[in-house]
């Protein structure tokens, strides 16, 4: 709609211009032509009239002359007729029709020709008698008869009459001028003497009326043509006594206007041609005005829609002032576009700064904007670290749209800062030989020069923007430099606000004294940890650590020392925990530890103990030495609290209980766990003295060889008879010993005891081939196991095959190569190695082939299941078959029923061990059992 209106407006201008041009050219042209044409016409008509009048006069004079001449001729013809009538006749023939004489009586005698009767009036006779001629008109026939009357030379009273030959008098058609008609009329009577072309009386009337002095003219139509006529009165009365003859000469107007018509014929094409020329010129002119205008207004609309890039395309039209206007317009649009882009870039960055603390994002946007606004081959920004002046973050971007920004850490040395401080307003530098690492990327992009604009905040340089150029002729216009400067200022604002945010965050979330997270951040992290654990089904523990008697440190050494002690305490606590754990200071002398990813609450105990131990060591600060201790409370998620508050409260309660219980200790929030922990602790202490107190004893469980029914060997199992708690199961104290490391001594004791026992039995001739000792994985970790076994066996004077060892799969899985080597050496020495609890773990076939295992002990679980279903039978059968295939001996553990035994025999199991045969028993009892068995088996 709007477009159509605009087009119409444009059309209007063109039409107006066109009309203006046409009118201004055509109207005068037409007017002049019309005027001149009229003028020429009237001139021509006037001329024609004059010429016609002259012609009429000449004709009239000619008639008069001829009448006079004819008179003379007739006179002489009559005279001659008397003498030589023939020659007179011959002469008269061309002038007269006839000649005759009339005597006084009125008798007519022909001299030549055949005369007609002509009445002679008296006045004519008188006139002739007075020797004067007269002309008589006999109006009878066309043309009328014109008869000349004169006196006869022969006798008085005789009259000569001669009728004039019409051709002679009026002249032949050749004699009269072209296109001119003559009509001779007798005045007064109106008798037409000679009118070859007919003219009606009405037309002639104005010519014949009473005459004034001016020329009488008239016009009429004949056969569609206009005719113009002039009348000339030829005076006759004096010479011929007859009324005047009026000669009417007429010509067609066309003839008179012939030149005007020719002119008119030429004139129309000329005007048409002129009009065409004008039209063409106008159209050209109009388009040379309208088109540039249209382009310009189109451009204005483009600008209104944010298009500052396009140019006004005028082409050939732009060679005049419009061209100047267009280029001025383009310049303006270019400048506006740049300013607009730079303003919108700045406002975008401002928004970004307000909405985010992410400096990186601001830098990226700044570089992206810069790439659009400024021509450069590579762009970069470097920001010096606030807290670490020798480091800088650098960002690079290639020119061109859509390029990514690369971020890097860069070392920044003092010189680089000085370089930046040198160029406060931005300057060009040649890149060759420049050292700063942050300029290297530009060089790598092939840049040889760079424009560097420092980023300054409160007078201090905190970074720079850089534009790299490949060529040498690169230059920046003033407004481009300004834009770079403005972007640098924005960057400064972004950096400073990020710093401030960071500072505020640190102030709000970290403890100023120890630099540990404060209560706020701890709560925050605790909340996150709860959410994470809830999501992933994890457990964790919270420790509250409170220094004991810290008040006395402050009181006796002052706050400075107190602060130093707190800092040292924080350092020690942090040292005790894993990197994944976080230590916070809750205020005063209270700290918390968040232990993530804990399988069970028990795992927190050693760590808490370690913290207590660490804080119990001597403090040396500022030349002062002092002793402190700490009370620790443990709460675990999710048992002791579902929320952060509850957990902290539980841990706090536990910590207070530790204080009440005498400080310098760890307390679980849950009572049961406290008892457990205490028990474990005392048990561990008791176990350490159990060997000296001879509370430990080795029991032996026989292994029955099914094929022979003989007891070939025994497994040594440790028993602890606690003075207070009584008998304690190895299931309980072995893991404890493994945890505390006491397992080494325990292992040594067991091996030495077994060897000694074996020596005794051999000395007594007990037919037991070997005793197997359980060796825990932890013992393999220690050096000297091999030497120890060797020593024990040697001391007891036993062959190595008398002592076997039992290991578990876990050991094999845990540490492949070292264990493999050790086991190889033990086997090489001649000791049998049994794989205990087979089937309970991974039961990898690879272990059986790779390690030098001689015996497989199928776990109790499978034996227990033998009578319950076919599955276990199948599994045991497979295990037996497999072990046999590999050449291993198969031992079934935990055989309790005869049914199990019968099945095992059927499946081809080699040996059995279990309560059905015998529980583990003291050495003497075992001796008796073997002896009884031997005697029972002997007779068979």
Largest distance between two CA atoms of the chain? 235
The one of Ca ion, ligand C2E, none whose footprint includes residue 436, by CB under 5 to 8 A per kind, is none
**Of these, 445, 836, 855, 911, which contacts Ca ion (CB under 5 A)?**
836
Least distance in angstroms from the C-beta of 699 to ligand C2E: 7
Smallest gap from residue 579 Cβ to Ca ion (A): 38
Please choose which of ligand C2E, Ca ion, none residue 750 contacts, taking the beta carbon within 5 to 8 angstroms, the exact cut-off set by kind: ligand C2E
Which one, 542 or 775, has the nearer CB to ligand C2E? 775
Q: Which is nearer to ligand C2E, 257 or 743 (CB)?
A: 743
Q: How far is the CB of 891 from Ca ion (least distance, A)?
A: 9
Residue 233 contact, options Ca ion, ligand C2E, none, Cβ 5-8 Å cut-off depending on partner type: none
**Alpha-helical segments (H) within 667-725:** 671-690
Cβ proximity to ligand C2E: between 322 and 733 the closer is 733
Straight-line distance from the first to the last Cα atom of the chain, in angstroms, rounded to the nearest whole number: 124
Q: Least distance (Å) from Ca ion to the CB of residue 737? A: 16
Sign of CA dihedral 927, 755, 731, 860: negative
CA distance 6 to 242: 89
Nearer to ligand C2E, 263 or 749 (CB): 749
CB 804, min distance to ligand C2E, A: 12
Find out whether 434 and 448 touch, Cβ atoms under 8 Å. no
What is the rounded CA–CA span in Å between residue 719 and residue 93?
A: 199
Sign (positive/negative) of CA torsion 221, 227, 228, 230? negative
Instruction: Give which of Ca ion, ligand C2E, none residue 160 binds (C-beta under 5 to 8 Å, depending on kind).
Output: none
Establish if 855 lies at the interface with Ca ion (CB under 5 A). Answer: no
Tokens of 647: 């957990």
| Beta carbon of residue 663, minimum distance to Ca ion (angstroms, whole number) | 44
Q: Minimum distance between the CB of residue 860 and ligand C2E, rounded to whole angstroms?
A: 6
Whole-angstrom CA distances from 826 to 172, 207, 772, 816 are 174, 173, 13, 15
CB of 859 to Ca ion, least distance (A): 6
Which of ligand C2E, Ca ion, none does residue 81 bind (CB under 5 to 8 Å by kind)? none
Nearer to ligand C2E, 384 or 792 (CB): 792
Nearest to 857 by CA among 699, 700, 703: 703
Smallest gap, in angstroms, from Cβ of residue 934 to ligand C2E?
21
- Minimum CB separation from ligand C2E for residue 853, in Å? 15
Minimal distance, residue 920 CB to ligand C2E, in Å:
5
800 makes contact, choosing from ligand C2E, Ca ion, none, with CB < 5 to 8 Å by partner type, with none
Q: Which of 924, 920, 877, 714 is nearest to 806 (CA)?
A: 714
Task: Report angle CA 740, 743, 744 to the nearest 5 degrees.
Answer: 115
Q: Which stretch binds Ca ion (CB under 5 A): 15-23, 55-63, 887-895, 918-926?
A: 887-895
Task: From the list Ca ion, ligand C2E, none, pick the one residue 703 interacts with, judged by a Cβ distance below 5 to 8 Å according to partner type.
Answer: none
The footprint of Ca ion on this chain (CB under 5 A) covers a number of residues equal to 5
Q: For Ca ion, which is the closer residue by CB, 512 or 919?
A: 919
Q: Label residue 209 left, alpha or beta by phi (over 0 means left) and psi (-120 to 50 means alpha).
A: beta
The closest alpha carbon to 449, from 471, 418, 465, 421, belongs to: 471
Nearer to Ca ion, 646 or 864 (CB): 864
Contacts of 127 (CB under 8 A, 6+ apart): 134, 241
Q: Which does 718 bind (CB under 5 to 8 A by kind): Ca ion, ligand C2E, none?
A: ligand C2E
Least separation in angstroms between residue 895's CB and ligand C2E is 6
Closer residue to ligand C2E (CB): 645 or 697: 697
- Give 371 or 746: the residue with its C-beta nearer to Ca ion: 746
Residues 745-774 that bind Ca ion (CB under 5 A): 774
Instruction: Count Cα atoms within 13 angstroms, Cβ side, for 312.
Output: 30
Pairing state between β 216-222 and 225-234? antiparallel
What is the closest distance, in whole angstroms, from the C-beta atom of residue 792 to Ca ion in the complex? 18
Buried-state track 749-769, b at ≥16 Cβ within 10 A, e below 16: ebbbbbbbbbbebbeeeeebb
Residue 701 interface partner, choices ligand C2E, Ca ion, none, CB cut-off 5-8 Å depending on type: ligand C2E
Nearer to Ca ion, 540 or 699 (CB): 699
Task: Pick what 517 binds: Ca ion, ligand C2E, none; C-beta below 5 to 8 Å, kind-dependent.
Answer: none
Nearer to ligand C2E, 252 or 914 (CB): 914
635 close to 669: Cβ distance less than 8 angstroms: yes
Nearest distance, CB of residue 870 and Ca ion, angstroms: 24
Of residues 325 and 875, the one with the C-beta less far from ligand C2E: 875
Calpha distance 15→32 (Å, rounded): 25
Which of Ca ion, ligand C2E, none lies near 248, with the C-beta cut-off 5 to 8 A by kind? none
Given strand 427-430, what is the order of strands in its sheet?
Answer: 405-411, 391-398, 378-384, 460-469, 449-457, 427-430
Backbone angles phi, psi at 387, to 5 degrees: -95, -10
Q: Which is nearer to ligand C2E, 124 or 714 (CB)?
A: 714
Binding site for ligand C2E (CB under 6 A): 701, 717-718, 729-731, 734, 750, 774-776, 806, 836-837, 860, 894-896, 914-915, 920
Contact of 791 with 770, CB cutoff 8 Å: no
Q: From 325-333, 386-394, 672-680, 890-898, give the range in contact with Ca ion by CB under 5 A.
A: 890-898
3-state DSSP helix/strand/coil % of the chain, to nearest 5: 55, 20, 25
Token pair, residue 8, equals: 């119409």
Which region, judged by CB under 5 A, interacts with Ca ion, from 131-139, 460-468, 692-700, 802-810? 802-810
Nearer to Ca ion, 543 or 834 (CB): 834
Name the helix (H) or strand (E) containing 134: strand 134-138
- Candidate list 163, 165, 187, 806; residue touching Ca ion; CB under 5 A: 806
Task: Answer with the entry of ligand C2E, Ca ion, none that 611 interacts with (C-beta below 5 to 8 A by kind).
Answer: none
Specify burial of residue 62 (Cβ count, 10 A radius: 0-12, 13-18, 19+): middle
Contact 217, 201 (CB under 8 A): no
DSSP string, 445-490: TT--EEEEEEEEETTEEEEEEEEEESSS-----HHHHHHHHHHHHH
Place of tokens 């006749």: 89
Rg of the chain on CA atoms, in Å: 76
Residue with Cβ nearer ligand C2E (150 or 895) = 895
Name residues whose C-beta falls within 8 Å of residue 374's C-beta, 6 or more positions apart in sequence. 467, 476, 480, 483, 484
Interface of this chain with Ca ion, residues 902 to 921, rule: CB under 5 A: none
> Nearest distance from residue 765's CB to ligand C2E, in Å?
26
Least distance in Å: CB of 410 to ligand C2E? 58
Q: How far is CA 410 from CA 335, 392, 455, in A?
A: 37, 5, 17
Q: Which is nearer to Ca ion, 546 or 837 (CB)?
A: 837
Q: Which of 368, 837, 911, 927 binds Ca ion (CB under 5 A)?
A: 837
CA distance 202 to 221: 12
* Residue nearest to Ca ion as judged by C-beta position: 806
Q: Encoding tokens for residue 49?
A: 């009239």
Among candidates 924, 932, 935, which has minimal Cα distance to 761? 924
Nearer to ligand C2E, 156 or 783 (CB): 783
CB of 668 to ligand C2E, least distance (A): 27
> 582 contacts which partner out of Ca ion, ligand C2E, none, CB within 5 to 8 A by kind?
none
**Burial call 809-823: b when 16+ CB within 10 Å, e when fewer:** bebbeeeeeebeebb
Residues forming contacts to Ca ion in the complex (CB under 5 A) are 774, 806, 836-837, 893
């Amino acid at each position: 709609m709007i477009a159509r209106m605009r087009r119409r407006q444009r059309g209007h201008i063109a039409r107006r211009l066109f009309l203006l041009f046409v009118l201004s050219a055509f109207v005068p042209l037409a007017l002049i032509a019309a005027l001149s044409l009229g003028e020429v016409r009237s001139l021509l008509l006037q001329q024609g009239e004059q010429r016609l009048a002259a012609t009429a006069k000449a004709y009239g004079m000619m008639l008069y002359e001829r009448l006079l001449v004819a008179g003379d001729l007739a006179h002489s013809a009559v005279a001659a007729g008397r003498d030589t009538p023939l020659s007179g006749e011959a002469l008269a023939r061309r002038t007269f029709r006839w000649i005759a004489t009339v005597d006084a009586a009125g008798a007519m005698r022909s001299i030549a020709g055949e005369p007609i009767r002509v009445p002679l009036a008296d006045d004519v006779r008188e006139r002739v008698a007075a020797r004067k001629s007269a002309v008589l008109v006999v109006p009878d026939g066309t043309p009328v008869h014109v008869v000349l009357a004169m006196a006869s030379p022969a006798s008085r009273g005789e009259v000569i009459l001669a009728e004039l030959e019409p051709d002679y008098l009026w002249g032949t058609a050749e004699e009269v001028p072209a296109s001119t008609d003559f009509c001779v009329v007798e005045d007064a009577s109106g008798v037409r003497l000679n009118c070859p072309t007919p003219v009606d009386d009405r037309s002639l009337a104005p010519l014949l009326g009473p005459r004034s002095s001016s020329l009488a003219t008239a016009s009429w139509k004949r056969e569609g043509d206009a005719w113009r006529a002039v009348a000339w009165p030829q005076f006759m009365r004096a010479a011929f006594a007859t009324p005047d003859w009026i000669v009417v000469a007429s010509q067609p107007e066309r003839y008179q206007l012939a030149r005007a018509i020719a002119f008119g014929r030429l004139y129309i094409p000329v005007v048409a041609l002129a009009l065409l020329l004008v039209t063409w010129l106008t159209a050209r002119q109009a388009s040379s005005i309208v088109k540039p205008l249209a382009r310009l207004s189109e451009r204005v609309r483009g600008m209104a829609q944010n298009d500052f890039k396009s140019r006004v395309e005028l082409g050939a039209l732009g060679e005049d002032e419009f061209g100047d206007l267009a280029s001025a317009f383009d310049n303006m649009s270019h400048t506006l576009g740049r300013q607009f882009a730079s303003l919108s870039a700045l406002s975008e960055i401002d928004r970004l700064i307000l909405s985010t603390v992410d400096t990186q994002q601001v830098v990226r946007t700044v570089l992206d904007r810069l790439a659009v606004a400024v021509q450069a081959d590579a762009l970069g920004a470097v920001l010096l670290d606030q807290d670490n002046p020798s480091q800088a973050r650098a960002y690079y971007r290639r020119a061109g749209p859509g390029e990514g920004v690369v971020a890097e850490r860069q070392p920044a040395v003092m010189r680089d800062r000085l370089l930046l401080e040198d160029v406060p307003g931005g300057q060009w530098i040649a890149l060759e030989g420049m050292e700063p690492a942050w300029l290297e990327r530009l060089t790598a992009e092939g840049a040889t020069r760079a424009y560097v604009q420092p980023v300054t905040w409160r007078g201090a340089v905190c970074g720079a923007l850089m534009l790299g150029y490949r060529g040498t002729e690169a230059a920046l216009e003033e407004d481009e430099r300004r834009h770079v400067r403005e972007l640098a200022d924005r960057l400064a604002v972004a950096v400073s606000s990020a710093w401030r945010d960071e500072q505020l965050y640190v102030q709000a979330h970290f403890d100023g004294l120890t630099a540990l997270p404060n209560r706020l951040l701890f709560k925050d992290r605790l909340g996150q940890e709860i959410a994470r654990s809830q999501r992933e089904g994890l457990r964790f523990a919270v420790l509250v650590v409170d220094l004991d008697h810290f008040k006395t440190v402050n009181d006796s050494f002052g706050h400075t020392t107190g602060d130093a002690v707190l800092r040292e305490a924080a350092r020690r606590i942090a040292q005790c925990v894993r990197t994944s754990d976080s230590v916070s200071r809750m205020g005063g002398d209270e700290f918390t530890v968040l232990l993530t990813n804990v399988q069970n609450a028990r795992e927190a105990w050693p760590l808490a103990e370690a913290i207590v131990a660490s804080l119990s060591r001597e403090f040396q600060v500022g030349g002062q030495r002092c002793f402190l201790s700490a009370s620790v409370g443990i709460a675990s998620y999710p048992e002791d609290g579902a929320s952060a508050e509850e957990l902290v409260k539980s841990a706090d309660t536990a910590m207070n209980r530790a204080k009440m219980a005498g400080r310098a200790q760890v307390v679980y929030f849950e009572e049961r766990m406290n008892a457990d922990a205490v028990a474990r602790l005392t048990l561990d202490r008791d176990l350490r003295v159990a060997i000296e107190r001879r509370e430990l004893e080795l029991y032996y469980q026989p292994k029955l060889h099914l094929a022979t029914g003989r007891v070939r060997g025994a497994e040594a199992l440790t028993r602890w008879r606690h003075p207070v708690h009584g008998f304690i199961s190895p299931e309980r104290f072995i893991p404890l010993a493994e945890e505390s490391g006491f397992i080494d001594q325990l292992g040594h004791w067991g091996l030495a005891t077994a060897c000694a026992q074996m020596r005794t039995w051999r000395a007594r001739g007990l037919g037991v081939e070997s005793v197997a000792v359980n060796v825990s994985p932890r013992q393999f970790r220690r050096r000297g196991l091999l030497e120890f076994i060797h020593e024990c066996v040697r001391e007891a004077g036993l062959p190595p095959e008398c002592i076997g060892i039992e290991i578990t799969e876990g050991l094999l899985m845990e540490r492949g190569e070292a264990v493999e080597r050790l086991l190889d050496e033990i086997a090489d020495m001649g000791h049998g190695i049994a794989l205990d609890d087979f089937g309970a773990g991974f039961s990898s076939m690879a272990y059986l082939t790779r390690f030098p295992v001689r015996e497989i002990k199928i776990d109790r679980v499978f034996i227990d299941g033998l009578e319950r279903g076919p599955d276990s039978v199948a599994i045991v059968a497979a295990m037996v078959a497999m072990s046999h295939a590999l050449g291993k001996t198969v031992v079934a553990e935990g055989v309790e029923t005869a049914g199990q035994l019968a099945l095992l025999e059927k499946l081809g199991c080699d040996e059995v061990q279990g309560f059905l045969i015998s529980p583990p028993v003291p050495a003497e009892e075992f001796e008796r059992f073997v002896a009884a068995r031997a005697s029972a088996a002997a007779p068979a």
